[in-house]
Amino acid sequence: MPHPDSQLPYWNAAAGTKTFTHPLHLPWLTDLDRHAAILDYGCGYGRVMADLAQYGFGNLTGVDTSPAMIIRARRQHPTMAFATLSTPPATPHPDASFDAALLFAVLTCIPDATAQHRLIAELHRVLKPGGTLYLSDLLLQPDERNRLRYERDADVYGVYGVFKTSDGAICRHHSREWLSTLLADFEITDSRDITVPTMNGHPATGIQIKARKPLAA
């Protein structure tokens, strides 16, 4: 499976051309104080953070592995806090730093299972006990175009659902069972299916999951 860093040239190039579309479901955030510390991991160019700011949240931090994404984010939202991660998935923040963490369309960009587990473990670390993890990503798609891609690349990448797009990204779509396994150290409190355009403009079925870090181990 390719190392995540091997896709940095793709995401740096995409910073100037792609539009991200996963919606922010405000009712899931109503239990958060407007001063709550929120981490947007894989923030891209800061779209979701801008939405959060419009809803009145002010203590926002965005991190991404792509320097070009962070440059665009800072240019578009100069008053917000953004940082490039040098050793992902590690963040520079202490344990229990955040009341909530957002992970929007990030797992689809991390095809390797071990890398996904490490990322979820890092978010678990920086969340306070009782903190919220809000995940939005893409499910396995039932249409022929996607099934052919999954079947074509399953032997190449060793996982059904991992595929290479026509413009060179290596992506992963997920089963519900895999996402539940990935979040085993969290308590899933809600979920919702969504229809969302992919970054290349195709309609796709996604899932949003609200999960809670337990108050005690």
What φ, ψ does residue 93 adopt, rounded to 5°? -95, 145
HSE-CB for 158 with a 13 A CA cutoff: 6
Given this model, what pLDDT does residue 2 score?
A: 54
Six token digits for residue 87: 């050793």
Given this model, what pLDDT does residue 18 score?
A: 79
Q: CA–CA separation, 100 vs 36, rounded Å?
A: 8
The CATH number corresponding to 4-212 among 3.40.50.150, 3.40.50.720, 3.40.50.1980, 3.40.50.1110 equals 3.40.50.150
Buried/exposed 114-123: b ≥16 CB within 10 Å, e otherwise: ebbeebbebb
Given this model, what pLDDT does residue 65 score?
A: 95
Encoded amino acid at 60, one letter: L
Q: What is the mean pLDDT of the chain?
A: 94
pLDDT band at 5 (very low <50, low <70, confident <90, very high): low
Given this model, what pLDDT does residue 15 score?
A: 84
pLDDT tens-place string over residues 46-82:
999 999 999 999 999 999 999 999 999 999 999 999 9
> Structural domain boundaries of the chain?
4-212
